[in-house]
């Protein structure tokens, strides 16, 4: 047999190729099996592509961990909706009567109605002893010029959007004002007078201007006020009223004419109360920063026997939400027992919440 070196070389090359091919096939099988054991779908598919020699796509930059944890990869963030107006920027009337949509707080929530305050020191230049002369054991004893006064007042929205109208709300209010002879030990420091006033109010939002003022609401209300006494010390009356609310910058004006509901002569404890308490009132409230100033005026609009009253209030910051409170009164009707008695009084204390 003749030896051919060329045939031998070809034979060796063939064996080498078969050996390399077998090794490649063995490696590929191992790699395929390795890829199949990867649990994550994305990583497993990437392994298959690498083993098969398929070109790898350029990897997109990975999103931060915080972003990926908060949203799915395909979801793009939606532009945030504009924030509603800050309630602190709403006007005084709007916050008090919820006249703007942003001020609405729903029904059955306690809110301040009139100012809530406590005056530990209050001086009167003419204490009204007349109603109590028959009740005092010692006629020579009487009321002190210095006493304390406390007022608590709240309101609740009973229905928002009455009769299907978003601009009409039904409110209920309650106020209690007590005058306490706290320093009068000679007559056992009694509460000389307490006035109770429940109210029902239908508030209509309005949108008009007059004289540079915005007309914000009309309040149609019913009020009962009494002192809970009997016989000679009893005082009470019922009224229906229409209150018009206006505002201009930091000034709010509330004009309220009323009509007294007539009573039987036998049941009327104070038939001439309108001669002293008048037929309406005007309230002006001005706010500057955290200070609030108010002026209340009443008058019977008579040329002869003209009577009325004036009340000035000033509240100012003390500590946190607690405010100082100063009150001055001059005229008739500081309380129901004093409806026909004129006096001047001055008190200092603290205010818990503001009101109208």
Residues marked active site are found at 224, 226
Which of 200, 153, 197, 152 lies closest to 172 in space, CA to CA? 200
Dist CA 53 CA 50 (whole Å):
5
Supply the DSSP symbol for 65: H
Strands 322-332 and 146-160: unpaired
Identify whether the C-beta of residue 356 lies closer than 8 Å to the C-beta of residue 113.
yes
Q: Are strands 342-353 and 116-124 parallel, antiparallel or unpaired?
A: antiparallel
Picking from 158, 152, 173, the residue whose alpha carbon sits closest to that of residue 243 is 173
> Torsions phi, psi of 103, nearest 5?
-90, -10
- Cα–Cα dist 34/288, whole Å: 77
Torsion of CA 227, 228, 233, 234, to 10 degrees: 90
Q: Are 282 and 296 in contact (CB under 8 A)?
A: yes
């Amino acid at each position: 047999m003749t030896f051919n070196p060329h045939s031998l070389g070809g034979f060796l090359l063939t064996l080498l190729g078969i050996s390399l091919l077998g090794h490649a096939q063995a490696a590929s099988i191992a790699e395929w099996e390795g890829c199949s054991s990867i649990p994550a779908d994305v990583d497993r598919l990437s392994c298959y592509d690498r083993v098969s020699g398929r070109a790898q796509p350029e990897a997109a930059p990975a999103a931060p961990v915080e972003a990926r944890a908060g949203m799915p990869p395909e979801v793009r963030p939606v532009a945030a909706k504009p924030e509603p107006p800050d309630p602190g920027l709403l006007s005084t009337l709007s916050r008090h009567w919820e006249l703007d949509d942003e001020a609405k707080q729903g029904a059955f929530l306690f809110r301040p109605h009139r100012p809530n305050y406590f005056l530990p020191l209050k001086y009167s230049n003419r204490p009204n002893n007349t109603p109590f002369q028959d009740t005092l054991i010692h006629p020579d004893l009487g009321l002190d010029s210095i006493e304390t006064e406390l007022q608590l007042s709240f309101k609740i929205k009973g229905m928002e959007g009455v009769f299907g109208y978003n601009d009409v709300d039904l409110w209920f209010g309650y106020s209690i004002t007590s005058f306490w002879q706290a320093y009068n030990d000679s007559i056992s420091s009694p509460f000389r007078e307490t006035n109770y006033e429940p109210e029902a109010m239908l508030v209509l939002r309005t949108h008009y201007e007059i004289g540079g003022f915005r007309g914000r609401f009309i309040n149609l209300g019913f009020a009962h006020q009494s002192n809970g006494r009997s016989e000679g010390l009893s005082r009470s009356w019922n009224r229906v009223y229409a209150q018009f609310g206006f505002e201009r910058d930091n000034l709010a004006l509330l004009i309220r004419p009323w009509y007294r509901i007539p009573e039987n002569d036998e049941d009327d404890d104070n038939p001439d109360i309108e001669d002293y308490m008048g037929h309406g009132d005007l309230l002006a409230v001005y706010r500057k920063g955290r200070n609030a100033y108010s002026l209340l005026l009443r008058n019977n609009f008579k040329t002869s026997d003209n009577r009325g009253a004036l009340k000035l209030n000033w509240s100012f910051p003390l500590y946190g939400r607690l405010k100082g409170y100063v009150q001055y009164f001059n005229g008739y009707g500081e309380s129901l027992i004093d409806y026909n008695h004129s006096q001047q009084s001055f008190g200092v204390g603290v205010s818990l919440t503001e009101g109208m």
